[in-house]
Structure 1
């Protein structure tokens, strides 16, 4: 057997050993048993961000047992749940300024304590300090017939000035109502805009109709939007539909009917764009019934 052959054979065995050793020492990357989720929800004039880990019940009784009643809970698994408000909000009358916070909860059989806290460096509920609370409220717990295996947070009932943060797991759910003062900011913006050379009458009409129920002012603004749109060569069927809705609220049904018919004719020219034929038909039927 030649010396070259022996050297090649030894080299081959060394390579096999190194490859095999590398294979045996490779780490095993298991799925996270409580995967992280981040939710970003537009709300008001900004947004809310929520980051939490989602444990599964896995046949266990969690709240009231593994997570005992009357104790501060991280509201999830691993690091505590964090919530970021990108504008000032209110939670059941408590003002929470723009910023990021920890969302702690204290479960109980009838009501839960919801806590907004500044302890961003805490792990779990360790290090929780009541002195760092910025908001502490009580919310009722609701039972559900639908079983939720994985702890779930979601935003529901999203409206311009109100939103619900819902927490669900097992057979229970709690709802945390959050509100924002949108009207004050919008009113200030509109006051400035309407005094400019390019007023946004359409936005103003929506504000006075939907936020303040000031139908006289809303009618003035939508008429301004119609004039401006038609001067640009538009056929604003959506403006006329909105005008009809405003007039209906004012009890001026005959004029509302006229505006709805104009909207229908203009929408037909656009091939029933955005289903305004359907919307106008429903509105006209309501007006015919005196509704």
Structure 2
């Protein structure tokens, strides 16, 4: 009888747990992901987001002077698909565990560690650190109940990782070198681009180099290749690319001008101006002064 009772309880227990459904229970520490473009790359932060629930955070729940996983459960990770910089220190592309050491007064320490898959900070090994830097802990007016990590992409390859919980905020300033990213990614992007779309990839590459004033001879090479590839398209395909015809030709004009070839630049600008119907590059009001200004420069 006792055996039957135990067996029944096991069966009921198994049935009950088997019927639990994802999404029907509130997790004390939700797993969250923050992702963003960063220049020509991508950054992603994965973290467990515990709630304050009326507790005193720093100095009690999170002790001062000790390594903290910056969240709950599995260690918080930061992943970047190109190299990036913290100050002058270059960090290779990869996935890293992110830790903080809070302090009662003065700057905190932020750490990136090669072991991105560890649970909490229990397996933390200082020898695997790739970055140790100081960050300032600041007070915020509005209390944040659940730990929140955000990445803000700024201008010129700059970005800021923001960690806030309770009324405490920590910022990590980061940067990428756009030209370095371009050199690392160009070949892979071209190889992955379908032949029918390569005209666009070459035009975008030329435009990027021109905007960065970098490798101007290569910019001209890519712009010429783009124009030739577009010209090789069928008349039907070209007819559907009205706006982009002008974009490709104007990019080529810019590339000629940047390389000192004013005559060819002028020819391409006039070609853009002649193609001025509705839905064309030069027919778009915003582009008219830009095209006209370049013509004045090369005349």
Q: The TM-score by the shorter chain falls in which range?
A: 0.5 to 0.7
| Residue pair 1:52, 1:76 contacting (<8 A) in 2 also | yes
Could you tell me which of 214, 224, 237 is aligned with 2:246?
A: 237
Partner of 1:101: 96
Q: Cα distance, 1:182 vs. partner?
A: 1.4
Q: Cα distance, 1:121 vs. partner?
A: 5.9
Partner of 1:279: 286
Could you tell me which of 28, 34, 41 is aligned with 1:33?
A: 28
What is the TM-score when the length of structure 1 is the normalising length? 0.65
Could you tell me which of 72, 77, 87 is aligned with 1:92?
A: 87
Provide structure 2 residue ranges, at least 5 long, that are not aligned to the other structure.
1-7, 192-197
Is 1:140 aligned to residue 136 of structure 2?
yes
Pairwise CA RMSD? 4.7
Partner of 1:83: 78
Aligned equivalents of 1:265 and 1:69: distance in 2? 69
Is 1:53 aligned to residue 48 of structure 2?
yes
Q: Cα distance, 1:216 vs. partner?
A: 6.8
Q: Cα distance, 1:213 vs. partner?
A: 4.2
| Residue pair 2:98, 2:113 contacting (<8 A) in 1 also | yes
| Residue pair 2:51, 2:145 contacting (<8 A) in 1 also | yes
| Residue pair 1:92, 1:137 contacting (<8 A) in 2 also | no
Q: Cα distance, 1:134 vs. partner?
A: 2.0
Is 1:174 aligned to residue 175 of structure 2?
no
**CA gap 1:26/1:138 in 2 versus in 1, 3 angstroms:** same
| Residue pair 1:105, 1:113 contacting (<8 A) in 2 also | yes
Length, aligned pairs only = 262
Which has the higher Rg, Structure 1 or Structure 2?
1
Aligned equivalents of 1:260 and 1:65: distance in 2? 67
Give CA-to-partner distance per residue, 1:97-146, whole Å, 9 cap, x none. Answer: 44433111122455331111234564323343322212111233444445
Aligned equivalents of 1:276 and 1:156: distance in 2? 35
Query: 1:137-216 maps to which residues of 2 (within 5 A)?
Result: 137-157=133-153, 162-171=158-167, 172-179=169-176, 181-185=180-184, 201-213=202-214
Partner of 1:222: 223
**CA gap 1:113/1:228 in 2 versus in 1, 3 angstroms:** same
Give CA-to-partner distance per residue, 1:131-179, whole Å, 9 cap, x none. Answer: 2212111233444445433212222216795543322233424124143
Query: Which piece of structure 1 moves more, 29-38 or 83-92?
Result: 83-92
Aligned equivalents of 1:64 and 1:280: distance in 2? 57
Secondary structure in 1 aligned to 2:146? strand
**CA gap 1:220/1:82 in 2 versus in 1, 3 angstroms:** closer
Query: Which piece of structure 1 moves more, 152-161 or 54-63?
Result: 152-161
Secondary structure in 2 aligned to 1:280? helix
| Residue pair 1:43, 1:160 contacting (<8 A) in 2 also | no
| Residue pair 1:105, 1:114 contacting (<8 A) in 2 also | yes
**CA gap 1:120/1:185 in 2 versus in 1, 3 angstroms:** closer
Give CA-to-partner distance per residue, 1:247-268, whole Å, 9 cap, x none. Answer: 8989999x99996785466464
Secondary structure in 2 aligned to 1:54? strand
Aligned equivalents of 1:231 and 1:99: distance in 2? 40
Q: Cα distance, 1:55 vs. partner?
A: 1.5
Could you tell me which of 62, 66, 71 is aligned with 2:61?
A: 66
**CA gap 1:173/1:225 in 2 versus in 1, 3 angstroms:** same
| Residue pair 2:37, 2:153 contacting (<8 A) in 1 also | no
Provide structure 1 residue ranges, at least 5 long, that are not aligned to the other structure.
1-17, 193-197
